[in-house]
Amino acid sequence: MVLVDLEGVTMTRPGRPLFEDLSLTLAAGDRLGIVGLNGSGKSTLLGVLAGTIEPESGVVRRGRGLRTAVLDQDPVLEGSTAIEAVGDGPAGRWEAAAVLDRLGIGTDLHDRPVGALSGGQAKRVALARTLVTGSGNEPTDLLILDEPTNHLDIDAIAWLEERLAALAGGLVLVTHDRHLLDAVTTRILELDRGTGHLHDGGYVGYLDGRARREEQAAEAEQVRRNLARRELAWLRRGAPARTRKPKAHVEAATALISNRPQGPARGADLDLHFGTPRLGDKVIELSGVGHGWGDDPDLFTAVDLSLDRRERLGVVGVNGSGKSTLLDIIAGRIEPRAGTVERGPTAQLGYHDQLGRDLDGSSSVLQTIAGPHETPDWTHSRLAERFWFDADAQRSPVELLSGGERRRLQLVMTLAAKPNVLLLDEPTNDLDVDTLRVLEDFLDEWPGALVVVSHDRAFLERTVADVVILDGQGFAGRRPGGYAVWEQERRAGRVRGKASGRRSDMARGGGSRRQAPKSEDVGRPRRRTPSTLGHLMREAEKAMRRLEQQAERLTAELGEAGSDHDEVARLGQALADAQAELAEAEERWLDLASELEDRTTDRT
């Protein structure tokens, strides 16, 4: 059964197309993910599929009696309370309550007026409404979701993943969550500079297909260059010779020289570092910190944290457990009710929060990066280009940017302040997957300290070495090994037991602060922290990649050296040295990995 059929559909925005001559057929059972750069038209395409936006040209055909449920990026709620906004649904009020609860809207919020909900709560209520509408004996034929994981915690995302995997009807999904894309989609539509590319096999299939397309583009460009070199020599054979050249051949040669196939929209090798100030030994230290709000005065208590210069720390937990509050305390935006926060004299904080900064819609992108009191110069322009705001985009007013482009601009503004301590609160919301991959590479190489709150599992896996856990009961400690170790513990059912044990120790007067060293430990060499070991492993990996490339280059040169015995000897010695250094780097990496495994075992 065909649900929706697009034929030759085109949509534009001022100055450029979003997508042109796009044809797409959705059938029953399809699981389609849509990806593309921020501003490429993903949300617009969802509106066309849902029937809320009419295309500028082309034809849209919908199946007879098609039942569609849609989650917009900025949904509008109807009804006086949260539970009423969800609606009774085919299965009754109980299903609405159950879905709300799984999405982090507890019974205490069910009767809250819609106008009193926060932005994140409203988005979760809207998602619940969409899911309840699409269930029952007569399920929705087509479910259309625009960034459904925004404002969900990790548990809610895992539940949503299972629900979507069991969906009976068709699904169209725009999300930056790569785990979700890979788990529930069977096809990916990539929007790239006005053109749609369809890939089979979910997110992995999309990556493979895109890589093949870029390889083909590079091969085509090499062929074009070789032909253009010959045609250019032909055109340059003097004025008398040119007068006898057929006009059609001249025009074809000129077109060959000037026309280049499109390469990747974004280069993979972008230098995003620009003189981050060095940090001293003391960064930020929290001692016995506690805080709460209103009816929950003890949101968390007895938090002890000491950030080092290469910190890679994630903050994880359920919604409402105080993750953003803890980040606000670290940033100095909130004074804790208990405990102390000390910041080192060299610490320069940059904070990218969930709400972002207020942006002047009439200001240009470049002026926004420079700030209202500074004249933009080449440094601001270079920084904008590094985050893919080209010359035209830099001159554009902010009001023309999509939601994802504004989010990216806010991130650039945070980095433009040159912090050496970076605090990121849900940085993945509304960013495209390409931006996330480059941001992850940037954070991997960045020389400062990082603390990040995120529900994006792939992002956490790539960026943090340890996690701080707020489990809804309070501060449940710090875990080395990052998100993967914490998730493994949770699945084994050990985290809650360990947290209960710590609270029992506190009841006996033990508290949660670090114990004084035992007498037999005094004088022992200080063991390296997991974050330090992670940094050293990444440095070793970079050295290994550099040496592998060097060995490959020397091997190629050795094959071309021919009978030049002196050159062969020189290259042979250089290759042997590179291979020896590579072996040492590999051994160093293995030693560090073993030490990190031992540290993780000791602390868990």
Beta bridge partners of 200: 187
Considering the chain, what is the average pLDDT of its residues?
A: 81
Q: 534 and 413: one domain?
A: no
pLDDT higher at 260 or 44: 44
What DSSP assignment string belongs to 526-548?
PPPPHHHHHHHHHHHHHHHHHHH
Cite the DSSP H helix spans in 62-118: 82-86, 93-102
Torsion angle (degrees, nearest 10) of CA 80, 81, 82, 83: -100
Is it the case that residue 515 has pLDDT exceeding 60?
no
CB atoms within 10 A of CB 98: 13
Q: Residues 361-382: what's their mean pLDDT?
A: 88
Mean pLDDT value across residues 538-559? 79
User: For 322-361, what is each residue's pLDDT tens digit?
Assistant: 999 999 999 999 999 999 999 999 999 999 988 777 888 8
Question: What is the number of other CB atoms lying within 10 angstroms of the CB of residue 17?
Answer: 16
- pLDDT for 378-433, tens place per residue? 888 888 887 778 888 899 999 988 888 888 899 889 988 889 999 999 998 888 88
CA dist., res. 151 & res. 426, Å (int): 8
- Whether 507 shows a pLDDT value over 50: the answer reads no
- Long-range pairs for 74-79 at CB < 8 Å and ≥24 separation? 74/403, 75/122, 75/123, 75/126, 77/114, 77/117, 77/122, 77/125, 77/126, 77/129, 79/114
- The distance in angstroms from the start CA to the end CA of the chain is 53
Q: Which of 377, 397, 418 is the last residue of a domain?
A: 418
Q: Which of 596, 324, 588, 586 is nearest to 484 (CA)?
A: 596
User: Is the pLDDT assigned to residue 235 strictly greater than 60?
Assistant: no
pLDDT at 261: 56
Q: Which residue has the tokens 């080192």?
A: 344
Query: Do 553 and 413 belong together in one domain?
Result: no
407 and 538 co-located in one domain:
no
In a shared domain, residues 410 and 546:
no
Asked if the model's pLDDT at residue 267 lies above 70, the reply is no
Q: State how far the Cα of 223 lies from the Cα of 541, in Å rounded to an integer.
A: 35
Whether residue 497 lies inside any domain: the answer is: no
Token output for 280 = 């001293």
pLDDT (0 to 100) of residue 354: 83
- 440-492 confidence digits (pLDDT tens): 888 888 889 999 999 998 899 889 989 999 987 889 889 888 887 787 777 77
The arithmetic mean of pLDDT across residues 285-292, rounded, is: 93
Last residue of a domain, one of 183, 206, 229: 206
- % of the chain with per-residue pLDDT over 90: 34
The CATH number linked to 566 is 1.10.287
Residue with tokens 């982090």: 104
Taking each helix axis from N to C terminus, what angle separates 247-258 and 202-235, rounded to the nearest 10 degrees?
140
Q: How confident is the model at residue 601 (pLDDT cuts 50, 70, 90)?
A: low
Q: Is 370 exposed, middle or buried (0-12, 13-18, 19+ CB in 10 A)?
A: buried
Is pLDDT above 90 for 305? yes
* Structural domain containing residue 21: 2-206
Is residue 225 situated within a structural domain? Answer: no
To 5 degrees, how large is the angle CA 48–CA 131–CA 160?
A: 105
pLDDT band at residue 73, thresholds of 50, 70 and 90?
Answer: confident
Cα 359 from Cα 341, distance rounded (Å): 31
Residues with Cβ within 8 Å of residue 295, at least 6 apart in sequence: none
CA distance 589 to 595: 10
Measured distance CA(298)–CA(290) in Å, rounded: 7
pLDDT at position 108, please?
86
Q: Which 3 state secondary structure label does DSSP give 126? A: helix
The average pLDDT across 196-224 equals: 83
Say if CB 404 and CB 430 are below 8 A apart: yes
Of 302, 415, 304, the C-alpha closest to 349 is 415
CA dist 557 and 553 (Å) reads: 6
Encode pLDDT of 123-142 as tens digits.
999 999 999 876 655 678 99
Residue 506 pLDDT: 43
Q: Number of folded domains in the chain?
A: 3
- Average pLDDT score over residue span 25-40: 92
- Percent share of the chain, pLDDT over 70: 80
pLDDT of residue 573: 79
> Looking up tokens 């709460």, which residue turns up?
292
- Would 482 be classed as within a structural domain? no
The two tokens of residue 514 are 């670090």
437 lies in some domain: no
Q: Give the rounded distance of the alpha carbon of 494 from its chain centre.
A: 29
**Dist. CA 535–CA 540, nearest whole Å:** 9
The more confidently predicted of residues 498 and 382 is: 382
- 13 and 160 both lie in a single domain: yes
The reply to whether 26 and 151 lie within a common domain is yes
Of 206, 226, 254, the one marking the end of a domain is 206
Per DSSP bridges, beta strands 449-453 and 68-71 are unpaired
Task: Confirm whether 559 is domain-assigned.
Answer: yes
Does the structure show a pLDDT above 60 at 510? no
Strands of 57-62's sheet, edge to edge? 16-27, 2-13, 57-62
Read off the pLDDT of each residue in 370-382 and give the average, rounded to a whole number.
86
Q: Residue 498: its pLDDT value, please?
A: 45
- Domain assignment present for 235: no
Residue 272 reports pLDDT greater than 60:
no
Specify whether 26 is located in the same domain as 155: yes
pLDDT of residue 93: 75
Tell me: do 61 and 193 sit in the same domain.
yes
Q: What is the CATH number of the domain that holds 70?
A: 3.40.50.300
Residue 593 lies in a domain: yes
pLDDT at 88: 65
Q: Are the C-beta atoms of residues 471 and 489 closer than 8 Å to each other?
A: no
> For the CA atoms of the chain, what is the radius of gyration?
28
Token pair, residue 347, equals: 């610490």
Model confidence, pTM: 0.69
Residues 397, 543, single domain; the answer is no
> Is the alpha carbon torsion for 70, 110, 355, 291 positive or negative?
negative
Asked if residues 206 and 196 have their Cβ atoms less than 8 Å apart, the reply is no
Q: Is residue 197 part of a domain?
A: yes
Across 235-244, 520-529, 533-542, 575-584, which has the greatest mean pLDDT?
575-584
Give the pLDDT mean for 89-113.
Answer: 83
Model pLDDT, residue 540: 79
SS3 content of the chain, % helix, strand, coil (to 5): 45, 20, 35
Identify whether the C-beta of residue 278 lies closer than 8 Å to the C-beta of residue 420: yes
Of the ranges 50-59, 265-274, 348-357, 378-387, the best mean pLDDT one: 50-59
Nearest to 131 by CA among 109, 104, 158, 160: 160
